[in-house]
Amino acid sequence: MAERLLDSMITKINQITTSLDGTIAQINQMSTAIQNMSQKFSEETISVNENIRLIVEVLKQLRMKSSENLQSISDDFNASIKELYEKKSIEAITEEEKKAIDMIRQAAKVVSNNLYYAQLLNIIQSIREETNRIMSCKEP
């Protein structure tokens, strides 16, 4: 009986050991999976950090270029304004425009006068033709 009890205990211990070996194998697999996930997470974190660093660098460069471009445009604009002011070309332009407007007004007056004279000539021509027609009717 003691032998049976000992065999039974050995069998149960072997079953427990086998069960524990399976549990240990599962724990080892889980540990490996966790290590792989941790490694992947670390790699992804490093990749994200590098991408963020590159984006920040690009934004810095863009800001510097934009500032340079805006400064260049501002300098060009200021130089143009200064040149216009120094040469007083704004006043010259307005004087030229005034002269052009006066010339247009004079041309419009001449055209208007010419149209008026053309109408008068037309009326005189019509009166002359009517007079000639009337005169030619009385003579026979």
pLDDT of residue 133: 82
pLDDT of residue 103: 85
Round to whole Å and give the CA distance between 22 and 14: 12
Domain of residue 106 covers 88-140
Classify residue 37: in a domain, yes or no: no
Q: Are the beta carbons of 84 and 90 closer than 8 angstroms?
A: yes
* Assigned token pair, 91: 């006043």
Classify residue 83: in a domain, yes or no: no
Classify residue 6: in a domain, yes or no: no
Alpha-carbon distance values, 122 to 97, 108, 110, 128, 130 (Å): 37, 21, 18, 10, 12
Classify residue 113: in a domain, yes or no: yes
Residue with tokens 């010419």: 114
pTM of the predicted structure, to 2 decimals: 0.40
81: DSSP letter: H
Give the count of domains, the chain. 1
- H or E element at residue 33: helix 2-87
* Assigned token pair, 45: 């974190």
| Local confidence pLDDT in tens for the 140 residues of the chain | 778 888 888 898 888 888 888 888 888 899 898 898 888 888 888 888 888 888 888 877 877 776 677 677 777 777 877 776 666 655 666 777 778 778 888 888 888 788 888 888 888 888 888 888 888 886 65
pLDDT of residue 2: 79
Round to whole Å and give the CA distance between 26 and 31: 8
Round to whole Å and give the CA distance between 78 and 117: 54
